[in-house]
Amino acid sequence: MSALMTLANVNYQVGDNLILKDINLGVPAGAHYTITGPSGSGKSTLLRLMAAMISKTSGDLVFDGQPIESYDPIMYRRAVSYCFQQPTLFGATVADNLAFPYQIRKQAMDTEHVTAALEYVGLSAKMLTQKIEDLSGGERQRVALIRNILFLPKILLLDEVTAGLDTANKDIIHQWLRHLNQDRHVTTIMITHDTTEIDAADQLLRVVEGHLEVGA
């Protein structure tokens, strides 16, 4: 199977500091990759680079058969969606956040679709009017993740999205990610330090001092 995303000899440097060194990786469509490694090793940088939030210093990054440079960054980020660790919610209410993906596509919010997404992760439609400061950590993270998948991306990049959550919240998110990957065919790449998630990984990658170790 041809890779949906390929990184070949990718380096990322800030000043004299080489943060990612000669990264080579092929991500097949429908894959579920788990990335781990020590703090500060370059894991988040790798994901941000894949998400076009930063640009590689050298090497090639090919997505869906085309070099990343050939895409409009905005359209690319809609196809390769990045979810932050401890995300910031916008505006005043949950609805402000879930309307945003529609707003940037000049569409009216599809309340039925949004409600279905909320219910899938154990939240209700009533939550739409809830103030964001009243949400628990787990609810915040679920609302933030829904923003990323209301329009399904081809690749979902998840940066320690379950860090700091309790087991119940983690289970909800794990089950949801499995559904997105297996039933909706969204390729997922997830950074984690969580031993349970590392043990359950289909494909485990390690980033150590800027080097990528596959299947370690």
Residues interacting with another protein, by CB under 8 A?
Answer: 51-55, 73-75, 77-78, 81-84, 87-88, 90, 100-101, 103-104, 144, 147-148
Query: How far is residue 44 from each of residues 111, 112, 141, measured CA to CA in Å?
Result: 33, 34, 17
Shorter beta-carbon distance to another protein: residue 87 or 122: 87
Shorter beta-carbon distance to another protein: residue 49 or 204: 49
DSSP secondary structure letters along 123-154: --GGGGGSBGGG--HHHHHHHHHHHHHSS--S
Shorter beta-carbon distance to another protein: residue 58 or 182: 58
Map tokens 């494909």 to a residue.
203
Least distance (Å) between residue 186 CB and another protein? 15
Least distance (Å) between residue 216 CB and another protein? 28
Least distance (Å) between residue 211 CB and another protein? 24
Gap between the Cα atoms of 107 and 103, Å rounded: 6
Cβ neighbours around 91 below 10 Å, total: 12
Three-state DSSP state, 41? coil
Least distance (Å) between residue 131 CB and another protein? 17
